Amino acid sequence: MSPIEQLSQDLKAQFPETEIEIRKSDDPNGFQFLSLVVGDFAVAVEWKSEHGFGISSFREDPSSLDGLFDSPSEWYTTEQGAFHRVASLVCDLRSTRLQPVKISDVRQERGMSQEEISRLLRIKQATYSKLERREDVKISSLQKVVEAMGGKLLIQAVFKDTRDVRELTFQ
Amino acid sequence: MSGIPSKEIRLKEFFRRLHSAVATASFEKAYELLCSTLDQVEDELSGLPNEPDQWMTLDRMFPPQTDRMSSVSGCDVKRFDSLRHITYIARNGAIEIRSRRKAEKPVIHFSKAGSDGKHVSDVCPKLVDENL
């Protein structure tokens, strides 16, 4: 069973009322796709062995051109991680696109405990727990947390008047 | 990056140029036309380099690659899957880009006939009502 088929099976078991379709490219080493629809909410997943699972979700007019030719909003290396993320999206029916999330939500979606992160950061769990609950966090601290989760911190400034999106760095 | 047209504007320009181009007579020529037209638009308007191996992180539109291609059963049509849309290219050179999202009928963002005047749905009538 391919990873996308496994994901489909797991999602069908968890959400029997949803429509789920999978499709495979003719190339046996090519992409495989999963579409999940709940009413007007959709989750699209694409998988290829060297990339993992790319996920995007959206709720909008099918005639909208928004998102065409976009690459996935999020990537997960394991089927378990992809399953947890898709499940959270379906439970909350929210888009992957530029939605603010709590550090604790991201940590849980990646299947990591506070203990694990605090061990990687070489701090006490109580200290890390306080960090997750803070309203204001140093960028350097957030960067270390994201890297401990296996990610990279990018900070974007979005300007509505010119549709610019700028990636910010600090000296 | 200030002043760069939005992706929606670039996409509409891609559709405009593709529509204006001379119709092709084969899958190969149609695929080449689609890829080259999108690359040209993005080269001119996106301000981003044409580095397909960076497709996961660059906010540039890239043409669908053959590792996304599958055959529509019983028809001379190939299908390329992307997250939010499906690109169909028929053996006669017809091109169609549809929403993946289901409505009562398939939602067609772009359609161009092959040089014989036939559209994708003419080549494969069962695509009229469904994204197969």
- Output B1 or B43, whichever has higher pLDDT: B43
The secondary element (H helix, E strand) that includes residue A52 is strand A52-58
Chosen domain end from A39, A73, A99: A99
Query: Which residues fall within 8 angstroms of residue A99, CB to CB, at 6 or more apart?
Result: none
Candidate from A30-34, A64-68, A118-122, A158-162 with smallest mean pLDDT:
A158-162
The pTM (predicted TM-score) of the whole model is: 0.75
Q: pLDDT (tens digit, 9 = 90+) per residue, B15-66?
A: 999 999 999 999 999 999 999 999 999 999 998 888 888 887 778 999 999 9
What is the interface pTM, i.e. ipTM, of the complex?
0.87
Statement to judge: residues A15 and A25 lie in one domain: yes
| Partner residue facing A65 (CB), from B11, B70, B83 | B11
Q: Which residue has the tokens 């008047």?
A: A161
More confident residue, A97 or B33: B33
Indicate if the pLDDT at residue A163 is higher than 60.
no
pLDDT for the residue A63: 77
Do A94 and A39 share a structural domain? yes
Closest-CA residue of A relative to B109 is A63
Would you place residue B1 in the very low, low, confident or very high pLDDT band (cuts 50, 70, 90)?
Answer: very low
What's the CA gap between A93 and B130, in Å, rounded? 25
Please check the confidence at residue A53 and state whether its pLDDT lies above 90. yes
Q: Give pLDDT, residue A24.
A: 95
User: Domain with A153 in it: what CATH number?
Assistant: 1.10.260.40
Residue A54 bridge partners (DSSP): A46, A75
What domain count does chain A have? 2
Collect all residues of chain B within an 8 Å Cβ-Cβ radius of residue A62.
Answer: 99, 101-103, 107
DSSP-based three-state secondary structure for B8:
helix
Q: From B81, which residue of chain A is nearest by alpha-carbon distance?
A: A33
Predicted confidence (pLDDT) at residue A67 exceeds the cutoff of 90: no
**Final residue belonging to a domain, choices A44, A74, A99:** A99
pLDDT tens readout for residues A107-119: 887 888 999 999 9
A99, A125, A145 - which closes a domain: A99
- Is A26 an 8 Å CB contact of chain B? yes
pLDDT digits (tens, 9 = 90+) for B68-121: 999 999 999 999 999 889 999 999 999 999 998 777 788 999 999 999 999 999
Same domain, A71 and A139: no
Q: Are A121 and A144 in contact (CB under 8 A)?
A: yes
The CA–CA distances, whole Å, from B51 to A129, A165, A166 equal: 41, 20, 20
- Write out A74-142 in H/E/C secondary structure: EEECCHHHHHHHHHHHHHHCCCCCCCCCCHHHHHHHCCCCHHHHHHHHCCCHHHHHHHHHCCCCCHHHH
Give residues 52 to 81 of A whose Cβ lies within 8 Å of B.
Answer: 54, 56, 58, 60, 62-72, 75
A130 and A95 in a common domain: no
Range of the domain at A136: 101-171
Say which amino acid occupies A80: Q
Average pLDDT over residues A124-143: 89
